[in-house]
């Protein structure tokens, strides 16, 4: 299954900027049996960890976080780009592999001590996930782990997040 996922993920050179090789995971989403196997693998990894909330990072993270939360019987919480969330928010700024950005979370997204799993498609430098970790800490949620479809290990994101904290189905 992992070989099939690796084969499905498409390299797009110079997107969204020159010099970036973008890992396009949309072929994984559009292949029904493969998408189901990926979600099943994530469910198998995280079932039994008593996850209260799965956090999806905008926007490709939502695609994996939502079915995972459903299958685990956990809540889904979304972290979004600025100005998208309707309620009161807290925000964190961070550096990307290609630029800088801000992420927002509803101020009442978590109860203190909530066991939280953070999900995104690709781990690159780890800046995005680290910013989400800061948002969680500000709400005294308990970060159980980060879970990615793929990790670009040569960018050192796992080391930045604390290697024991990071799960990826695939490593590049
Ligand atoms: P980073 O903060 O550097 O770990 O970047 C992670 C975020 O940017 C994730 O939401 C990824 O979807 C996206 N991203 C960064 N670099 C890439 C890449 N080379 N291919 C695909 N997505 C990427």
Q: Which of 42-56, 96-110, 150-164 is predicted with the least confidence, judged by mean pLDDT? A: 96-110
Task: Tell me the average pLDDT of the chain.
Answer: 96
| 64 CA distance to ligand 1 middle (Å) | 15
Nearest atom within ligand 1 for CA of residue 21: 19
Say what the pLDDT of residue 159 is.
95
Asked if residue 170 has pLDDT above 70, the reply is: yes
What is the full DSSP assignment across the chain? -HHHHHHHSEEEET-SSTT-EEEE-HHHHH-HHHHHHHHHHHHHHHTTS--SEEEEETTHHHHHHHHHHHHHT-EEEEEB-TT--SS-EEEEEEEETTEEEEEEEETTS--TT-EEEEEEEEESSSHHHHHHHHHHHHTT-EEEEEEEEEE-GGG-HHHHH-GGGEEEEEE-
Interval 132-154 mean pLDDT: 97
> 127 CA to middle of ligand 1, Å?
9
User: Does residue 60 have an active-site annotation?
Assistant: yes
pLDDT value of position 100: 86
The confidence score (pLDDT) of residue 95 equals 84
| Confidence band, pLDDT 50/70/90 cuts, at residue 15 | very high
50-75: per-residue pLDDT in tens? 999 999 999 999 999 999 999 999 99
Q: What is the residue with the minimal CA distance to atom 5 of ligand 1?
A: 124
Domain residue limits, the chain: 49-171
The answer on pLDDT for 124 being more than 90 is: yes
* 36-49 pLDDT per residue, tens: 999 999 999 999 99
Q: Is residue 97 annotated as part of the catalytic site, yes or no?
A: yes
User: Considering the entire predicted model, what is its pTM?
Assistant: 0.96
Catalytic-labelled residue, pool 6, 45, 58, 97: 97
pLDDT at 98 over 70: no
Question: Relative to the CA of 130, which ligand 1 atom is closest?
Answer: 2
pLDDT at 28: 98
Atom from ligand 1 closest to the CA of residue 120: 10
Ligand 1 first shell, C-beta below 6 A: 20-23, 57, 60, 96-97, 120-128, 152, 157
The percent of residues above 70 in pLDDT, for the chain, comes to 99
CATH number of 49-171: 3.40.50.2020
- Cα(126) to centroid(ligand 1), Å: 8
C-alpha 133 – ligand 1 centre gap (Å) = 16
């Amino acid at each position: 299954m992992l070989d099939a996922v690796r084969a499905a993920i498409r390299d797009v050179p110079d997107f969204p900027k020159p010099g970036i090789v973008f890992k396009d995971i949309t072929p994984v989403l559009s292949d029904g049996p493969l998408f189901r196997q990926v979600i099943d693998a994530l469910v198998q990894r995280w079932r039994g960890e008593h996850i209260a909330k799965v956090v999806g990072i905008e926007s490709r993270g939502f695609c994996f976080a939502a079915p995972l939360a459903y299958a685990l019987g956990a809540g889904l919480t979304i972290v979004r780009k600025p100005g998208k969330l309707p309620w009161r928010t807290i925000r964190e700024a961070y550096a990307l592999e290609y630029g800088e950005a801000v992420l927002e979370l509803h101020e009442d997204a978590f109860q203190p001590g909530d066991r939280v799993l953070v999900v995104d498609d690709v781990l690159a430098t780890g800046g995005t996930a680290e910013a989400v970790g800061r948002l969680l800490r500000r709400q005294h949620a308990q970060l159980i782990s980060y879970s990615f479809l793929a990790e670009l290990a040569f960018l050192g994101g796992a080391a930045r997040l604390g290697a024991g904290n990071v799960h990826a189905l695939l490593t590049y």
